[in-house]
Amino acid sequence: SGRRVRTGPRDPALRKSRVCYDHLAGEMGVFLHDTMMERGWLAMDRDALSVTASGRAAFVRFGIDVQALSAQRRTMTRSCLDWSMRRHHLGGSLGQALLAGIRARGWAERIEGTRIMQFSQAGERNLKHWLRSG
């Protein structure tokens, strides 16, 4: 069946978790952003999003080379408006590194031919555990 699956704004799987360029979006992306803000890992400084010292430590424990990201030309942290949630998720090189880490751990995988990121139950649990314990 070489038929392409059409997904759109009303597709529940797409609304739950998807790729936005190279970072996580949808309910899971917004949840990730909001939790990192609540934990104080990210802070809004005027109009810019920045990584705090506690955030830096949590991301390093997750295996992200924050130092290398901050040396890149690409913006490290960027708020990206989520079309299905009408709230923000995390873009920039940190958003990309987080999604890469989630995929590398096997917590979620991209469904071929779509933008859907499918989290396993264990993957969702592990992500929430990391966000709690950081």
CB 17 within 8 A of CB 119: yes
Query: Among 98, 90, 78, 93, which residue's Cα sits nearest to residue 29?
Result: 90
pTM, two decimals, is 0.89
Q: What is the pLDDT of residues 113-129, one digit of tens each?
A: 999 999 999 999 999 99
Q: What is the pLDDT of residues 29-48, one digit of tens each?
A: 999 999 999 999 999 988 88
Residue 93, H or E segment: helix 92-104
| Phi, psi for residue 106 in degrees, rounded to 5 | 75, 20
pLDDT of residue 85: 82
Q: What is the pLDDT of residues 41-86, one digit of tens each?
A: 999 988 889 999 999 999 999 999 999 999 999 999 999 988 888 8
